[in-house]
Structure 1
Amino acid sequence: MEKLLVASLLVLSSTSYAATQTWDFVGSGGVSSLNRNIVANSINLSDNDNTMSVSMTAWSAYNDENIFQSELWLSQWGTLVYNANGEAHWTDNVGRYDFVLLSFDQDVELSGISISNYMTDSDISIAAFDSNPFEGGSAMTRWNQVSGYALSSSSFSNVGSSPLNQYYALDSGANQAKTTAGTSASYWLIGAYNQYFGGGLTAGNDNLKFSGLTTQTSNTTQVSAPASLSLFAFALLAFAGRRNKLR
């Protein structure tokens, strides 16, 4: 009977656990020409287990110009961002700085990023936000404004170094000290290295294709109050009855 009472007390409390989601950015198609018209677009995607969804958009700008929405493709090689006609098909910082905004349907911690290809170097910057930095009354127009608006931001060097196609952990080893470790948010920016997001790295030579990422969520399971209270009351009555019999 004591076990029943303990069990009912446990039911009254919430149960929290971490869930991991895997996201695949490698599509079956590609692009027919590098001479894009730069049509701003968004791509909706579900995680591999269809438990969550994300809306993806691309954004580009020099440091001293207004940020604008670019054209995003999920190709057979990974993410491609176009910000000018004839531009090379990378997420890069050669000229304009390219970022992909991930708008999740719930708060997530970004725990890993996968790079399928890179050229010259593979430094990246990431940042977390509690709202879309490019929309609404607080829309940001410069990268220094965006980084200042972020909940947290960090930069990482040589993400695409060997082995490729492997998830790069953002929350382990030396990266545990990064300010984004443990941050949970619905909006995340991932892109080629940008000086305003920290790191002290060299920009202008990072060309990447993101092929996927991993996220983590903290889920809480609660039993409805009427059901849990009824169980608790039943346990108390049963326990009291047993004590009376023993007297």
Structure 2
Amino acid sequence: MARRKLVYEGKAKILYEGPEPGTLVQYFKDDATAFNAEKRDVIDGKGVLNNRLSEFFMTGLGNIGVPTHFIRRINMREQLIRAVEIIPLEVVVRNVAAGSISKRLGIDEGTALPRPIVEFYFKDDALGDPLVSEEHAIAFGWASQQDLDDMISLALRVNDFMSGLMMGVGIKLVDFKIEIGRIWDGDYMRLIVADEISPDSCRLWDMETGQKFDKDVFRRDLGNLADAYTEVARRLGVMPTNAAPVTKPTLIN
């Protein structure tokens, strides 16, 4: 079989050229990073869990009419996706104060926000992905006002879906990050949800105990990251109730 062409490698995923024009293969790695990759480790099975969870969330969004880049899962670590032009802005939706907003504004972590707050961050690791305003995005040509309006609308629809889904299994959706890309149908451009949706890109807390099931487990040395992600998958029915944490796949004859 011919070797696939590498298109891009990030901290948690690799993109390869897809089998058809306009497609890519997205491979989920076991790498875990935090603080712009200053802290890093390899967590056995993390890529498998994120692949299955992102498939689950993207499929659910598609079922309610939210457009995404997801086409189908190929295997335990890979999925086929549509190639998009990624807008260089991370879109963060916050329901509860945590992380940088608590530090920035002096709000106690865990404080419920009066309404979902949408923030934009410029995608640049060297700069630490700084918080930017809509004015910055328009002035520097990253997105038009119509793009930004559509991105906010998409992000809030994702928030509604994810919040309800998580609440149903006893998990509070504290905040999450998505990326959005442009695709063209002839001369018509539209925006779709891209990248991934997984515990890597969300803050997820148990509604009763406050236990964390997201990357803060790794950031703050709170336990085993694979166990935390496995618990999310178990509650959502993505994995059987009696499943053990997923480890690296073993090749057999």
Bigger Rg, structure 1 or 2 = 1
TM-score, structure 2 as length reference: 0.25
**Higher helix proportion:** 2
Q: Greater RCO between the two (CA within 8 Å, min separation 6)?
A: 1
TM-score by length of 1: 0.26
Higher-strand-fraction structure: 1
